[in-house]
Amino acid sequence: MKVVEYRSLDAAAGLREAWNALAAQTPEASFCQTWDWLAVHWKHVASEQRPLILSLVDGGEVVGILPLSLKRQRRKLGTMRVLTLPGDAWTSFIGPLGRDPHRVLAAGYEHLTHRTRDYDLLDLIGLRGAAHHAVPLQAGKSAAMIDLTEDWETYWESRRAHSNRRRNIERCDRRLGEQGTIEYVRHRPRGSQHGDDDPRWDLYEACELVARQSWQAGLTEGNTISHGSVRDFLREAHQTAASCGALDVNVLFLDGRPLAFVYGYHYRGYLDLMRAGFHPELAKLAPGNALWTRLIRDSFQRGDRILDLGYTCLDYKQVWLTRLETQYRLTYYPASPRGQALRVAHWLRGRWPQAADDSNQHAKEVVAAQRS
């Protein structure tokens, strides 16, 4: 068994078929782990990072792939070369591909710590965890997950543990319906191979419109669906997802006007619901909750398996989630002056308590400060 390195997309182009075959074998893989999505991502971040792809070969067959990105990051100690997982946190989990992802990770980790040293820090965030003596994983944030194991009625009945929130959702839904005609549209084309790859740009632009009207648009540094810094990337990824049959766009309309959206990808029953927003005009009637109710019910009917709601705003997601899944982190400091300087700096920083993470509240406070 050997590990082969590829340091550009062109060099790794021959892996595309094996890559997507391995993604289909990987437990709970997402569309963001496929060659098609990552190729678009790497294209749009080429000025900031480049791919380092490890292929695990056994008997002439590719049995695993570990995709990585090598970034140059400005830190207090200077510019550092940091090896990370690709994707820039667009998805909750990303990592090795193969029937046994942890075996692939262990082989990649051994290769990186013994044979590849052209980096100052190995910092992989967003791994799925499992006990493995050769890989020192650390627990990190938790992502909100909905397991669609039974049916909508059983699931909604189980939400009685949050009875006040559930009653409020139902009451707001009724009052919202009194404002006009409510229409829920979900677009999920089957892909080019089925002659069904319409990206429905009208729905995408409806999502952009709602995002621009929401509080998120006030962030000067952000990556919501309407931000210019990611707009070109997201639009090309949107077209790619439609062609691959992985697009999942959800929009709630009131009298033909977009009121709320949830945007994401689906892959073999696993849904990455990456971005969401609602029009502030009817915020008291919780149009976002009205959309989530319809989306989850529809996913049960479609036979989806898992909805990944992400790792931010967990207080809001408590009423919907069925479990929390922990993200894991793998960090390694090579035996170089810069690597060891980073190790000491991170150890010192860890000696001071950090404020609790509440991304939603922090973002709202930033927007309020900017507007005032």
Q: Side chain identity at 151, as an amino acid letter? A: D
3-state secondary structure at position 87:
coil
Average pLDDT over residues 46-57: 95
Cα 121–chain centre separation: 23
Q: Which residue has the higher pLDDT, 129 or 51?
A: 51
Quickly name the fold that domain 2-142+325-371 has. Answer: Aminopeptidase (3.40.630)
pLDDT in tens, 212-230: 988 766 666 667 888 888 9
Give the integer Cα–Cα distance in Å for 148 and 152.
8
What is the average pLDDT score of the chain? 89
Residue 360 has pLDDT above 70, yes or no: no
Q: What is the mean pLDDT of residues 69-74?
A: 88
DSSP 92: S
Query: Is pLDDT at 346 greater than 70 in this prediction?
Result: no
pLDDT of residue 74: 79
The pLDDT confidence band at residue 296, using thresholds 50, 70 and 90, is very high
| Cβ-contact 247, 271 below 8 angstroms | no
Check residue 175 and give its pLDDT.
96
Q: Are strands 78-84 and 121-128 parallel, antiparallel or unpaired?
A: parallel
Confidence of residue 350 (pLDDT cuts 50, 70, 90): low
**Rounded CA separation 64/23 (Å):** 9
Which distant-in-sequence residues (6+ apart) come within 8 Å of 271 by Cβ? Answer: 248, 264, 265, 299, 304, 306, 307, 308
- Domain 2-142+325-371 shares a fold with domain 149-304: yes
Q: Starting at the earlier edge strand, list the strands of the sheet with 257-267.
A: 2-6, 49-58, 61-75, 78-84, 121-128, 323-332, 137-147, 306-310, 270-278, 257-267, 247-254, 182-187
Q: What are the CA-CA distances from residue 83 to residues 53, 69, 298 (Å)?
A: 11, 6, 39
- What is d(CA 220, CA 201) in angstroms, rounded to the nearest whole number? 25
Q: Would you kindly state where each structural domain of the chain is located, as residue ranges?
A: 2-142+325-371, 149-304
Q: Which fold has domain 149-304?
A: Aminopeptidase (3.40.630)
Query: Is 362 a residue whose pLDDT tops 80?
Result: no
pLDDT tier at 367 (50, 70, 90 boundaries)?
very low
- Rounded CA-CA distance 189/199 in Å is 8
Sign of CA dihedral 129, 122, 134, 6: positive
Asked if 84 contacts 29 with a C-beta cutoff of 8 angstroms, the reply is no
Question: Which amino acid does the sequence have at 251?
Answer: V
pLDDT range class, residue 370, cuts 50, 70, 90: very low
Q: What is the pLDDT of residue 227?
A: 87
Q: Could you report the per-residue pLDDT of 79-135, keeping only the tens digit for each?
A: 888 999 999 989 999 999 999 999 999 999 999 998 767 889 999 999 998 656 678
User: What is the per-residue pLDDT for 206?
Assistant: 97
The whole-angstrom separation of Cα 113 and Cα 29 is 26
pLDDT for 371 equals 40
pLDDT band per the 50, 70, 90 thresholds, residue 372: very low
**One-letter amino acid identity for 16?**
R
Kindly indicate the confidence band of residue 43, based on its pLDDT and cuts at 50, 70 and 90. Answer: very high
Mean pLDDT on 129-142? 82
Rounded distance between C-alpha atoms, residue 169 and residue 291, angstroms: 10
Under 8 Å between Cβ of 187 and 203 = yes
By DSSP bridging, strand 137-147 and strand 306-310 are antiparallel
Task: Decide if pLDDT at 353 tops 70.
Answer: no
Predicted TM-score (pTM) of the model is 0.89
**Tokens read off for 305:** 């398996």
pLDDT score recorded for residue 334? 83
Q: Residue holding tokens 């990770």?
A: 105
Which whole number is the average pLDDT over 52-74? Answer: 94
Q: What is the pLDDT of residue 160?
A: 85
329 pLDDT higher than 60:
yes
Closest CA to 283 of 179, 185, 207, 354: 179
